[in-house]
């Protein structure tokens, strides 16, 4: 089965999370680990397994698809927060 471009974007988001965002976050928790994956859902999920000290972030492909449509993205909480808090100029 061929991966869609949206799935590839999710893989790039995972790589950016692991390469850019995780190292500073992990600095205070050297024993914690992070696994990142792309799922089929419409949201981003975070789960922490305290026994294994492992975080799991799942980026949903349907979320990625929706974020690429301005009309669909307007309904997302993150879009409303960006506008309300004026991130990136609102």
Characterize 19-57 residue by residue with b for buried, 16 or more Cβ atoms within 10 angstroms of its Cβ, and e for exposed. eeebeeeeeeeeeeebebebbeeeeeeeeeeeeeeebeb
Q: Span 64-87, mean pLDDT?
A: 76
Residue 12 above 80 pLDDT?
yes
State pLDDT tens for residues 18-52.
Answer: 999 999 988 877 788 999 999 998 888 999 999 99
């Amino acid at each position: 089965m061929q991966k869609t471009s949206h799935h590839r974007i999710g893989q790039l988001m995972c790589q950016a999370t692991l390469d850019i965002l995780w190292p500073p976050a992990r600095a205070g928790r050297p024993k914690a680990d992070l696994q990142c994956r792309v799922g089929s859902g419409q949201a981003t999920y975070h789960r922490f397994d305290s026994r294994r000290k492992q975080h799991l972030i799942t980026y949903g492909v349907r979320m990625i698809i929706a974020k690429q449509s301005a009309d669909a993205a307007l309904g997302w909480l993150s879009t409303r927060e960006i506008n309300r808090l004026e991130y990136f100029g609102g």
